[in-house]
Amino acid sequence: MHIYDSVQKTKLPFAPIRKGEASIYVCGPTVYDDAHLGHARSSLSFDLLSRTLKALNYKVTMGKNFTDIDDKIIKKVEETGKSMDEITSFYIERYLEDMAAIGIQRPDIEPKATESLQAIENMIQTLIDKDMAYVIDSGDVYFDTSKDSHYGDISHQVGEDEDNQSRVVHTSEKRNPKDFALWKACKGNDDICYDTPFSSGRPGWHIECSAMIEKHFSHAHGTEEYSIDIHGGGADLLFPHHENEAAQSRCATGHELAKYWMHNGFVQIDGEKMSKSLGNSFFLKDALKVYDGEVLRYYLNSVHYRNDFNFSEEELLTSKKRLDKIYRLKKRVSPGKGSAVNKTFKKSLLDAMSDDLNISIALAVIDDMVATTNDAFDTNPKNKALKKETLANIEFIDALLGFGSKEPFSYFQIGVDETLKAQIETLISERSDAKKEKNFERSDSIRNELIALGISIMDTADGTLWEKA
RNA sequence: GGAGCCAUCGCCAAGCGGUAAGGCCGCAGCCUGCAAAGCUGCUAUCCCCGGUUCAAAUCCGGGUGGCUCCUCCA
């Protein structure tokens, strides 16, 4: 396995802290609204990583947090009059449903900030005790970036001279412009506050990830140099979020946070980053109303995770066509039971994914397998061994990439209700009769009716099959 | 103002110094009553200008264009 490390900016062989194991932590969503396609892409990217490592026989432990204490959540509390818990638990449920719909394997650990307060407090206290953090008059606690000689190693964005060059004006009692809040003191009676020795307040954004990783991935920390193997998230988190996480963890624990850092590219709409502030975000739940989750999954995963992804309906339809081909092949071999995966096929797929998740090559390998197998069945439709192997191949695709698991006939009937189904079957039956009588004018006319209904048909040796377009 | 990323066939997209994968679309053919599906074949010298090298889409320098980060953000 090779992984592109966004800190070293190069592809590195994956050598985990512990042989045969892989610990991954991905920054999850702040739960104040529904997940958009960008969240989907991030989840999908690291889902592929996890599946690939599992296929390579690593014992994977995947963690993804829910940020459930945050300014925007508090704002939502004020706006709606609902409790913070009502809001966050609602969106956490929605998030999990949406992710399940696109085939994301549930992480092993899903920590929440509200359930990690002790760990957060401990880490901040440690930093204060080590004089790497300071409490200002208001009760806010800041991390002192000047005390960390490695601050900047992650994002390479902290220059020597710089500072007031930033287009953001910093005005506070911070000692250094780059210092960031570990803890925000209570602002008033209505604020969400937790008591700690340093002040009553709530955690800053960055500290939760460091604390959760420390809490949930607590290796013995003997001679181990890193807390986890891989830390992931969107490219926008590299700075300041990950830089700050790394600094906190390094200074509090004496260990580097992660051995490898991976960042996924953005989903764009018309060439611009999808984001709420630009008003161009596309909620996953809305996309799922129009497109099947499996098709969305194939589509959003069809471009390498590090590249930006420009969403277009036209390209999504192209992805569906490629997925369709896999299911058409599956129709030829279903129902049945798989035997063993073709070794060459399996190796080619794994080789592709082992190269920093080269999905393009992987999909090309699948397309090739589909064409070759179809060709073989065109020559010999009754090749039983090949049928079993093909089923096994498709099962492997599903395990590794997360698509192809549906019953193939039902895949082509998504969106067809019982009434329409009965109508289609009647028409097909009438058409078959017409064909037997060589009344082709009639049979073609029926076919046109079906096409008008969005149904395409194909005559095979086993009768007429139909598909919803 | 500072820091990065990207630019490959009509569209999407691999490539990581050794002579351009794959998909969609299009064209031709096989199959079919005709189709559809499936299969086969055909279609690019890599934004521009310099340089390094026996050899560059791939490395270096300079342009041009697009995107992102430095503020919440996947």
Residue A381's domain comprises 314-409
Q: In this predicted structure, what is the pLDDT of residue A324?
A: 98
Distances (CA, A) of A85 to A113, A118, A206: 12, 18, 21
Question: Which conformational region is residue A279 in: left (phi greater than 0), alpha (psi within -120 to 50 degrees), or beta?
Answer: left
Token digits for A288?
Answer: 């799922």
User: Are the C-beta atoms of A133 and A179 separated by less than 8 Å?
Assistant: no
A402 with A434, same domain: the answer is no
Among the listed residues A36, A34, A16, the one whose alpha carbon sits nearest the alpha carbon of residue A281: A36
Which nucleotide has the least CA–C1' distance to A355? Answer: B16
User: Total structural domains in chain A?
Assistant: 2
Same domain, A431 and A385: no
A239-CA/B1-C1' distance, Å: 18
- What is the CA A11 to C1' B18 distance in angstroms? 21
Residue nearest to nucleotide B24 (CA to C1'): A318
Q: What share of chain A is helix, strand, coil (3-state, %, to 5)?
A: 45, 15, 35
Looking at residue A159, its pLDDT comes to: 59
Residue A388, in any domain of the structure = yes
Helix (H) or strand (E) holding A367: helix A359-379
What is the reported pLDDT for A157? 83
Is there a contact between A8 and A265 (Cβ–Cβ < 8 Å)? no
Which nucleotide's C1' atom has the smallest distance to the CA of A239? B69
Is cis: bond before A335, omega within 30 of 0? yes
C1' (B30) to CA (A465) span, angstroms: 22
The dihedrals phi and psi of A86, each to the nearest 5 degrees, come to: -60, -45
Element (H, E) at A236: none
Domain boundary among A388, A409, A430: A409
Show the DSSP H helices in A183-259 as ranges: 205-216, 243-253
Within-domain flag for A220: no
Whether residue A319 lies inside any domain: the answer is yes
Look at residue A164 in the predicted model and tell me its pLDDT: 43
**Measuring CA to CA, which residue among A5, A1, A42, A40 is closest to residue A22?**
A1
pLDDT of residue A180: 95
ipTM: 0.96
Which of A360, A388, A409 represents a domain boundary (last residue)? A409
Tell me, yes or no, whether A318 and A403 share the same domain: yes
* pLDDT for residue A191: 75
Same domain, A427 and A383: no
CATH number at residue A360: 1.20.120.640
Is A441 within a domain? yes
Q: Gap from A321 CA to B43 C1', in Å?
A: 21
Place of tokens 């001679």: A223
Distance A280 CA to B72 C1' (A): 16
φ, ψ for residue A382 (rounded to 5)?
-105, 25
Nearest nucleotide from residue A161 CA, by C1' atom: B2
Residue ending a domain, among A366, A384, A409, is: A409
Residue A346 lies in a domain: yes
Q: Are A261 and A234 in contact (CB under 8 A)?
A: no
Report chain A's C-alpha Rg in angstroms: 27
What are the residue ranges of helices labelled H in A27-145? Answer: 37-55, 71-80, 84-101, 117-129
What does each of the 469 residues of chain A score in pLDDT, given as a tens digit?
999 999 999 999 999 999 999 999 999 999 999 999 999 999 999 999 999 999 999 999 999 999 999 999 999 999 999 999 999 999 999 999 999 999 999 999 999 999 999 999 999 999 999 999 999 999 999 999 999 999 999 998 875 544 445 555 555 688 998 999 999 999 876 678 999 999 999 999 999 999 999 999 976 555 678 999 999 999 999 999 999 999 999 999 999 999 999 999 999 998 889 987 788 889 999 999 999 999 999 999 999 999 999 999 999 999 999 999 999 999 999 999 999 999 999 999 999 999 999 999 999 999 999 999 999 999 999 999 999 999 999 999 999 999 999 999 999 999 899 999 999 999 999 999 999 999 999 999 999 999 999 999 999 988 999 999 8
Task: Let me know whether A331 and A398 are in one domain.
Answer: yes
Indicate the burial class of A296 (C-beta count within 10 angstroms; 0-12, 13-18, 19 or more): buried
